[in-house]
Amino acid sequence: MARYLARRLGQAVLVVFGVVALTFVIMRLLPGDPAIAYAGPKASAADLAAARARFGLDAPIPVQLWNYVRDLAAGDLGTSLHTRQPVADDLTLAFPASLELVGAALIFAVAVGLPLGVLAARYKTRFPDFTVRLSSMLAVSVPVFWLALAVRTLFSSVLGWFPVAGEYDAALDSTSPLHVYTNITAVDALFTGNWPMLGSTLHHLVLPALVVAAYPAGVIAQLTRAALIEESAQDHARMARALGFGETAVLTRFSLRPVLNPVLSLIALVFAYSIVNGFLVEAVFNWPGLGRYAADSIRTLDTPAIAGVTLLVALLYVLANLIVDLLQGVVDPRARTR
């Protein structure tokens, strides 16, 4: 186990270095010259040179890469050109909002996808199975930005059941201001007992979270179904059947446990994907998360900010993969030799 752990961690560190280097390359390829963006379009040649020196852009590329890595190690992601704040500070504000959205979406996706997967496996090749397979296939095929637009139009604009945009009612900032601890509004509101704020946040959260949940709910249902069908053909399931357990009991009491392992791995993997899918949903619902920040950064060619978001999401992905592999290694000794 120790050797597996060391090898897997070593691999992760290598990948992180690669991710940093690739982010640096993309950043250098970005068209906007950060010096021009900083100094303004009417800056003189001397001002430009000063701005270049300030950002270290006059140094040779390898030196710039080294400086970049050194700054990253100190938690310095540079200064955003459009907010004029340190990118690290911007991200600590934006990321919790994305986490709130994707967290709520994944909870919903598991709550819906897992039972549907079980239902489909129980009535394999019959009508409920076909319905689940059809709807989960539609859920993974729907363009998320279009679904967000359609849901917003129907439930907010036309029916008026839910708010159109934002994370909570802005008026609450004065009537019941939030004490910020984690920056995840719903969590902070819950733990400080700020009920009006919690209610407003949850009310704003429902639609975007449902839209983000579509894809994970679909893949969770598909995987649960496939894994359960495979598992219920195993000898231990046949044994249970021979002992007189009904089909539903065989599935839920004997086959479901081993299936939860791959489903958990899938959730970790789908997490990073959902963060990026959430970008499009955030844009539609004006959710103050990473997606809106990334969209603003791309529009203003804000190189350090784009690099910061890219790096953060890529690192999340590496971390999610690492956790999955380590958990698999703990649970299943065969995985260690792979």
Partner 1 sequence: MIRTSRFDLLARIGAAVLAAIILAAVVMPLFVPPDDPHPVDALLPPGAGHLFGTDQVGRDVFNRVLYGARTSLTIALAVLVLAALVGVTLGVLAGYSGGWIRDVIMRVTDVFLAFPALLLALALAAVLQPSVTTVIVAIAATWWPWYTRLTASVAASVARRGYVDAARCLGVRTPAIVFRHVLPNSITPVLVQLSLDAGGVILTAAALSYLGLGAQEPAAEWGLMIEQGESLFTTKWWVVTLPGLAILLTAFAFNSLGEGLRAALDPRRLTR
Phi, psi at 86, each rounded to 5°:
-55, 135
Task: Examine residue 22 and tell whether it contacts partner 1 (CB under 8 A).
Answer: yes
Sequence length of the chain is 338
Are 100 and 186 in contact, with CB atoms under 8 Å apart?
Answer: yes
Among residues 57 and 150, whose Cβ is nearest to partner 1? 150
Using rule CB under 8 A, residue 104 touches partner 1: no
30 binds partner 1 per the rule CB under 8 A: yes
Distance CA(185)–CA(169), nearest Å, equals 12
> In the stretch 123-162, what mask flags binding to partner 1 with x, by CB under 8 A?
--x----x--xx--xx-xxxxxxxx-xx--x---xx----
Residue 84 amino acid letter:
R
CA distances from 8 to 81, 313, 320, 335 (A): 37, 20, 13, 11
Q: Measured between alpha carbons, how far is 224 from 262 in angstroms, rounded to an integer? A: 9
Size of the site for partner 1 (CB under 8 A): 51
193 binds partner 1 (CB under 8 A): no
Q: Which two tokens stand for residue 238?
A: 């046949």
Nearest to partner 1 of 30, 172 (CB atom): 30
- Cα 185 from chain centre: 17
234 binds partner 1 (CB under 8 A): no
Q: Locate tokens 């890529």: which residue?
A: 314
Contact 206, 226 (CB under 8 A): no
30 vs 190, which CB is nearer to partner 1?
A: 30
Tell whether residue 335 is a contact of partner 1 (CB under 8 A). no
Least distance in angstroms from the C-beta of 262 to partner 1: 16
If the CB atoms of residues 137 and 330 are measured against partner 1, the closer one turns out to be: 137
Q: Looking at 165-173, 235-243, 269-277, 329-337, which segment touches partner 1 (CB under 8 A)?
A: 269-277
The 272-311 site mask, x for binding partner 1 (CB under 8 A), equals: xx-xxx-xx--x----------xx--x--x----x--xx-
Burial 253-282 (b: 16+ CB within 10 A, else e): ebbbebbeebbbbbbbbbbbbbbbbbbbbb
Query: Residue 32 or residue 333: which is nearer to partner 1 going by CB?
Result: 32
Does residue 318 bind partner 1 (CB under 8 A)? Answer: yes
Interface region with partner 1, contact rule CB under 8 A, candidates 15-23, 99-107, 177-185, 323-331: 15-23
* Residue 6 dihedral angles phi and psi, to the nearest 5°: -65, -45
Smallest distance from the beta carbon of 286 to partner 1, in angstroms? 13
Q: By CB under 8 A, tell whether 119 contacts partner 1.
A: no
Name the segment binding partner 1 (CB under 8 A); options: 98-106, 206-214, 315-323, 326-334.
315-323
314 binds partner 1 (CB under 8 A): yes
> Helices marked H in 40-86 — which ranges?
45-55, 61-73
Q: At what angle do helices 303-331 and 87-122 cross, to 10 degrees?
A: 40
Contact 272, 334 (CB under 8 A): no
Q: What is the DSSP letter of 255?
A: I
| Interaction of residue 224 with partner 1, rule CB under 8 A | no
Q: Single out the residue of 338, 317, 314 nearest to residue 25, CA to CA.
A: 314
Binding site for partner 1 (CB under 8 A): 11, 14-15, 18-19, 21-22, 26, 29-31, 125, 130, 133-134, 137-138, 140-147, 149-150, 153, 157-158, 272-273, 275-277, 279-280, 283, 294-295, 298, 301, 306, 309-310, 313-315, 317-318, 321
